[in-house]
Amino acid sequence: MRKVILLGIAVCFVVALGVAAFAEKEIHIGVTVPGLFSPAFVEMKRQGELKAQELGVKVTVVSAENDIDRQFEQVRDFIAAGVDGIVITTIDSHGIVKAVEEANKAGVPVITVDRKSFGGEVFYHEETDNFNAGRLCAVYVAHLFKDNPGPIEIFIERLDPSVDSVEDRFQGFMFEVSQWPNLKVVAAPNLGMDVGKAFEATINAFQANPNIKVIFLPGEPWLSGTVSALKQLGKWFPRTDPNHIVMVGVDGDQFAVENMIEGYYDFSAVQAIDKFVANAIEVFVQYFREGKKPPVKERYVPVLGLCPENFDFIKDRVWGYRVYMEQKGKQ
């Protein structure tokens, strides 16, 4: 019994020494995001760097430019550089698995945010409740047209099905649409993750289905190309006009906020995505400095429904509004 007690004390002592060592050394965290084409990823990067500065840790944030092979190499580079932890927002939930497994073999813990890895050991995962984000967009549309027998024709800019976050939004939207017989999806082309495809996809959808009344964007970075297409088609009308095309989407970025303020955008399921990397850094710091593990392995964060009717009441909780006001102040 005495030997067991001594062994237990020794283990605790070793763990304590490990935590103390991390408390003294500089913590270095590597972060890879899909690309800075998305305002959400730009803000995610910025908030992560601010959190690292606040906590006194070193963070290196790199952009994979929407290239899964590049992201894989970035993870390898982090391992070679001896980082203490890696945060990944992946481009491809399947394609990133080997990178996670390499980090596992090297003993470097991995946190995934916004999008999952479909393999490997992940220390912690945090993302939006994406299924219900998509569903909430459809609920808004359904109630907007609840007294209209339809069919209310809907165009969906479906994104890469291999990316779990955007696919969950699509599935959530489709589930809710199926509950309303007056709603009908007439076009849902796969745009991959290329924001440049929004313009052509919108033109094609309206040429084939001129009576489209609703557009759903699983990712609002695709909004800019969609707006340009609607203007070219002569279908860009404010909400007060009977010819208005209802637009709903997920993110809550500054372009969606701007168009809502100007009277053209209808509903945004706002993510807390700007905080994901910052939260991951905080989780790592608590683990390295205090030995604390997160209370759960996965966390799914609810969205905030933003529309013109509640805009003034909740705008200060919307990351895109903060960015919009900062940009406006610089003009």
Domain locations along the chain: 21-126+273-300, 130-272+305-330
Q: Are 42 and 72 in contact (CB under 8 A)?
A: no
Give the model's pLDDT for residue 25: 77
**Torsion, CA 278, CA 283, CA 286, CA 288, rounded to 10:** -100
Give the model's pLDDT for residue 253: 95
Q: Specify the CATH number of the domain 130-272+305-330.
A: 3.40.50.2300
CATH topology for 21-126+273-300 is Rossmann fold (3.40.50)
Cα(18)–Cα(15) distance, integer angstroms: 5
Give the model's pLDDT for residue 197: 96
pTM of the model: 0.87
Q: Are 230 and 17 in contact (CB under 8 A)?
A: no
Give the model's pLDDT for residue 5: 39
Residues of the chain scoring pLDDT < 70: 1-24, 330-331
Cα(204)–Cα(264) distance, integer angstroms: 21
With a CB cutoff of 8 Å and minimum separation 6, the contacts of 288 are 19, 22, 27, 84, 85
Give the model's pLDDT for residue 330: 65
> Are 21-126+273-300 and 130-272+305-330 in the same CATH fold?
yes
Give the H or E element holding residue 9. helix 2-24
How many CB atoms lie under 10 A from the CB of residue 325? 14
